[in-house]
């Protein structure tokens, strides 16, 4: 069994044309989702810390940091953009493994694609193949690896990033094997850091590890030839249980990217079916919040365990308040970051509606389902049943929902017209002649006012 | 139990004066040993691969790559110098854990010390405290962690490098806690890559991880506050068995650096007692190799298992030939890299003596012992018993043996007089006003001829 070599060959030698259309389309959706989320995050002050380190350390202006006016080395750009992709906890999720495959992989393909002048089609193919490698390795080690305490997004993410960057750098299959060795031995990240800036640092460091692995291997640096399956390799050392057949089974036929979901709402995932219900009720009821007498929800147990916060005081608490999430779903018809600002959380109309929302646990309720009954002051009552929340594998967000998400996020960093141009370019990325053109649209000094 | 915080406080707040003299002296010996080994390795062509990546990626000229004329970013310098320190497998060893503490730690302290203008005394203190942190964490997770397949030099090395660099950057104790979080979650390295360039890459990546952790934490980046002892922290996730009390027990009183040994010979460690014996016999016998009729050794079993190569053809095979190692010990009185070149291995006098050397296993022979009997053609016979090989904890190499090693290695990259100045400066490092002065002596374009 030559798992590493087979996977390296797949990533290097699969022609873009051999990737099925729906998989490429899912890849585009990942790009759009990732860029929206990262552009939004680029206004977070914590990015300044990282940019200040870059200024101190230097780096050739080879690749862009998203949403700011800065170009830096490929490794720096990969680190920063991976950080931005995951900072808001709003990126994609490969449901079978809880890997967020875009955040470690796409910063590597974007940096390499920008610097080496790749076409949009090649960017897309490399991104899809990198994410496929990442998710398949995740399948091989999940759940033991994650349960042990590793942050699977970064540990498996190094294979996504080296695959994507290495392909765009033109590595041979043999070089890719060594690149996977250099990247794979950098696989790291423990869950202890969750709740701090170091959590989003993880996909950044994974993106950087893959870029460095590709840069070294492309120049002849040697590593293990069996980093995945070797006796002292990734699977054996980092996961008590593993099944490496998952890496190569049906390679090129079955695509893990089909199991990747894009998060529609900027809050804890257990509230998502409740928000779906409230957005639907908003349309059906057509009355202002002041007319609502009460809202009663039947929910799965985790909702109360994780998100029972009737009176949040700051935006971050709002993200873990099902009451707040439901209230903004009804009033704003949305649950984007704008609904979780400190100001929005203390808004009197929102607070008043929150106070009229109750939930009761139903142990039989599936985890992506909910039932919500809304009663108006005039006595009329409306019930909404959600079987599968938006964003779950059985109910992916639509392209137009994704566009709304992208607009809500990207315009935080870019002027509206620029965001629209970028969105159009992303849907047409397979016809783009050079990634540089795309990245140019993402560069926007923070000082520039929005239009 | 606040293991991380206690260790961070120890590294940040221990005044240099509180470190016992013999420990500081051992720290100096580590610096001399590391610099000798790294300067020698700087002539290896594989370094060019890394330097070419640095040229491509860029970096401010803040810190020196040893033995070449290049200054680059702190992270790049740490990566390259960690690589050089371990490339020849000739660095130090903390015997209880098989950690090589200098290679991940000293590149970080040298880079930070050079850039921030630290005094030699502070360089020495930071290096000693960083190595102490690294080895103590190793004690807490050894042997389960290494047995699982992790390369303990890099995984524990990140704590050495962040400790050393962070102290020289002036981090507060609180910042050091976060720096250890950022560094600790980068802990990585699997043993599968041994035998490739990626093995010495490990201490390099550990050095770089610590420098980055210190750069970020010093600017306010946040991480876990209990990276070592947390439920999903380093020890719990990366070692099935561990005893974190090892990290803090007798901190400041008992020093792990006392258990650190410097390798005297540039070959497999099991041949070391045999080389000791041959060097001793060389002095006692005082006859050329041509007068030797036969040599008979009694050895522990691993010697034949690992190093039975009577007729090596290239230098690398010579490093794993006990016969060659014994022959050069007698003929040259040394087993430095010069004794393991391709040319030296095919030398007729050396080959002839190798052919007259036999070994027999004695199952009762301790692993750092050997007995060698040399018989001359005139019938006279000499027996040498070695109880503890040079470099073992019970028999550390002397300062003058270390000087000989340094000279044999450093003059490969530096002119003789420059190497002497550097050596003198290192013995006096606690009186050095700035690390920059020291690093200046190590910078030598490869094109410059030796004197």
- C-alpha gyration radius of chain B: 22
Q: What pLDDT score does A269 carry?
A: 86
Nearest one of B39, B47, B29 to B127, comparing CA atoms: B29
- Give the span between the Cα atoms of B195 and B402, in whole angstroms: 27
pLDDT for the residue numbered B449: 40
Question: DSSP per residue over A288-332, as a string?
Answer: -GGGEEEEEEEE-HHHHHHH--SS--SHHHHTT-HHHHHHHHHHH
- Distance CA(A150)–CA(B232), nearest Å, equals 8
- The span from the CA of B369 to the CA of B274, in Å, is 8
Query: B251 to chain A nearest CA, in Å?
Result: 25
Q: Give me the mean pLDDT over the B38-64 stretch.
A: 97
pLDDT tier, B447 (very low <50, low <70, confident <90, very high otherwise): low
Contact B281, B382 (CB under 8 A): yes
Return phi, psi of residue A385, to 5°.
-105, 130
Question: Exposed e or buried b for every residue in A191-220, given b needs 16+ CB within 10 A?
Answer: bbbeebbbbbbbbbbbbbbbbbbbbbbbbe
Residue B426 has pLDDT above 90, yes or no: yes
Taking only the tens place, the pLDDT of each residue in B78-97 is: 999 999 999 998 999 998 99
B396 vs A: CB within 8 A = no
Instruction: Among A59, A151, A197, select the one facing B57 at the smallest CB separation.
Output: A59
For residues B129-145, average pLDDT? 98
Asked if A75 and B62 come within 8 Å (Cβ–Cβ), the reply is no
Contact A379, A385 (CB under 8 A): no
Residue B65: what are its φ and ψ, rounded to 5°? -85, 130
User: Of A136, A149, A147, nearest to A194 (Cα)?
Assistant: A149
Instruction: Give chain B's mean pLDDT.
Output: 95
In the predicted model, is pLDDT for residue A141 greater than 90?
Answer: yes
CB contact under 8 A, B221 and A73: no
Helix (H) or strand (E) segment spanning residue B164: helix B157-168
Q: Is the pLDDT reported for residue B448 higher than 60? A: no
List CB contacts (< 8 A) between B4 and chain A: none
What are A9-49's pLDDT values in tens digits? 999 999 999 999 999 999 999 999 999 999 999 999 999 99
Nearest Cβ partner of A223 from B73, B75, B197? B197
> Contact at 8 Å (CB) between A128 and A257?
yes
What is the pLDDT at residue B450?
41
Ordered structural domains, chain A, with CATH: 3-263+409-442 (1.10.4100.10), 269-386 (3.30.1330.120)
* Residue found by looking up tokens 């027996």 in the block: B383
What crossing angle do the helices spanning A157-168 and A173-184 adopt, rounded to 10°?
150
Judged by a CB distance cut-off of 8 A, whether residue A59 touches chain B is yes
What would the two tokens of residue B239 be?
């070692």
Residues from chain B that touch A185, judged by Cβ atoms under 8 A, are 151, 188-190, 192-193, 198, 201-202
pLDDT tops 60 at residue A438: yes
Q: Which of A178, A187, A224 sits opposite B188 (nearest CB)?
A: A187
| pLDDT at residue A449 greater than cutoff 70 | no
Query: Which residue in A has a C-alpha nearest to residue B230's C-alpha?
Result: A192
CA distances from B353 to B277, B370, B415 (A): 15, 19, 33
Per residue in A328-369, pLDDT tens?
Answer: 999 999 999 999 999 999 999 999 999 999 999 999 999 899
Mean pLDDT of B381-388: 97
A371: Cβ contacts below 8 Å, ≥ 6 apart: A277, A297, A298, A362, A365, A383, A384, A385, A386
Check whether B212 has a pLDDT greater than 60.
yes
Distance CA B340, CA B307 (A): 14
Per-residue pLDDT, A393: 80
Residue A5: the pLDDT is 98
Interface of A with B in 186-225 (CB under 8 A): 186-194, 196-198, 201-202, 205, 212, 215-216, 219-224
pLDDT given for residue A448 in this prediction? 52
Phi, psi angles (nearest 5°) of residue B299: -135, 160
Grade residue A251 by pLDDT with cuts at 50, 70 and 90: very high
Q: Work out the average pLDDT over B104-130.
A: 98
Bridge-partner residues for A292, per DSSP?
Answer: A376
Chain A: residue whose CA lies nearest to B217: A49
**A216/B192 Cβ within 8 A:** no
Sorting pLDDT into bands at 50, 70 and 90, what band is B200?
Answer: very high
Nearest-angstrom CA–CA distance, A203 and A92: 12
């730690």: which residue's tokens?
B105
What is the ipTM metric for this complex? 0.93
Q: Which residue in chain A has the smallest CA separation from B209?
A: A205
Contacts of A206 (CB under 8 A, 6+ apart): A82, A104, A153, A154, A155, A157, A158, A160, A161, A187, A189
Residue closest to A105 by CA, chosen among A70, A64, A156: A156
pLDDT band at B397 (very low <50, low <70, confident <90, very high): very high
pLDDT band at B451 (very low <50, low <70, confident <90, very high): very low
pLDDT at A32: 98
pLDDT of residue A394: 86
Would the pLDDT of A174 be above 60? yes
Residue B189: closest CA among chain A residues belongs to which residue?
Answer: A185
Q: Is the pLDDT assigned to residue B266 strictly greater than 80? A: yes
- pLDDT (tens digit per residue) in A95-126: 899 899 999 999 999 999 999 999 999 999 99
Q: Name the pLDDT band for A69 (thresholds 50, 70, 90).
A: confident
For B235-270, give the DSSP string.
HHHH-SS--THHHHTTBTTB-GGGGEEE--SSS-GG
The tens digit of pLDDT for each residue in A358-406 reads: 999 999 999 899 999 999 999 999 999 999 999 988 899 999 999 999 9
Q: Does A51 touch chain B (CB under 8 A)?
A: no
**Average model confidence (pLDDT) across chain A:** 96
- Give the percent of chain A with pLDDT over 90: 93
Interface contact flag, B221 A50, Cβ < 8 Å: yes
Q: What's the average model confidence in pLDDT over B393-405?
A: 93
Report pLDDT digits (tens) over A305-321: 889 999 999 988 899 89
């Amino acid at each position: 069994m030559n798992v590493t070599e087979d996977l390296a060959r797949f990533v290097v030698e699969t022609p873009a044309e051999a990737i099925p259309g729906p998989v490429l389309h899912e890849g585009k959706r990942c790009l759009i989702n990732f860029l929206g989320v990262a552009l939004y995050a680029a206004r977070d002050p914590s990015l300044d810390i990282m940019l200040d380190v870059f200024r101190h350390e230097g780096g050739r202006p080879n690749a862009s940091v998203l949403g700011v006016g800065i170009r830096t080395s490929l490794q720096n750009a990969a680190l920063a953009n991976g950080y931005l992709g995951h900072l808001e906890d709003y990126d994609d999720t490969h449901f079978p493994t809880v890997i967020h495959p875009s955040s470690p992989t796409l910063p590597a393909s974007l940096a390499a694609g920008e610097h080496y002048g790749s076409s949009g089609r090649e960017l897309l193919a490399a991104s899809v193949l990198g994410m496929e490698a990442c998710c398949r390795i995740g399948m091989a080690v999940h759940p033991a690896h994650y349960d042990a305490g590793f942050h699977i997004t970064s540990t498996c993410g190094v294979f996504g990033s080296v695959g994507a960057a290495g392909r765009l750098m033109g590595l041979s299959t043999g070089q890719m094997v060594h690149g996977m060795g250099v990247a794979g031995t950098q696989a790291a990240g423990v869950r202890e850091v969750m709740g701090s800036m170091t959590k989003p640092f993880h996909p950044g460091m994974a993106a950087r590890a893959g870029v460095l692995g590709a840069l070294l291997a492309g120049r002849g640096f040697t590593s293990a030839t069996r980093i995945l399956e070797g006796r002292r390799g990734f699977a054996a050392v980092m996961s008590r249980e593993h099944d490496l057949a998952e890496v190569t089974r049906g390679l090129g036929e079955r695509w893990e990217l089909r199991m990747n979901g894009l998060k529609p709402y900027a809050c804890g995932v257990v509230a998502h079916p409740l928000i779906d219900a409230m957005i639907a009720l908003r349309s059906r009821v057509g009355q202002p919040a002041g007319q609502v007498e009460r809202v009663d929800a039947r929910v799965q147990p985790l909702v109360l365990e994780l998100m029972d916060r009737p009176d949040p005081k700051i935006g971050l608490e709002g993200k873990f308040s099902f009451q707040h999430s439901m209230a903004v779903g009804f009033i704003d018809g949305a649950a984007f970051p704008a609904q979780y600002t400190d100001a929005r959380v203390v808004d009197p109309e929102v607070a008043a509606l929150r106070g009229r929302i109750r939930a009761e646990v139903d142990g039989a309720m599936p985890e992506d389902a909910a039932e919500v009954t809304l009663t108006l002051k005039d006595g009329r009552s409306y019930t909404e049943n959600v079987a599968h929340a938006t964003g779950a594998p059985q109910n992916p967000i639509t392209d137009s929902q994704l566009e709304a998400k992208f607009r809500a996020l990207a315009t935080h960093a870019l002027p509206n017209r620029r965001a629209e141009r970028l969105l159009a370019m992303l849907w047409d990325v397979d016809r783009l002649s050079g990634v540089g053109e795309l990245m140019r649209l993402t560069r926007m000094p923070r000082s520039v006012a929005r239009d």
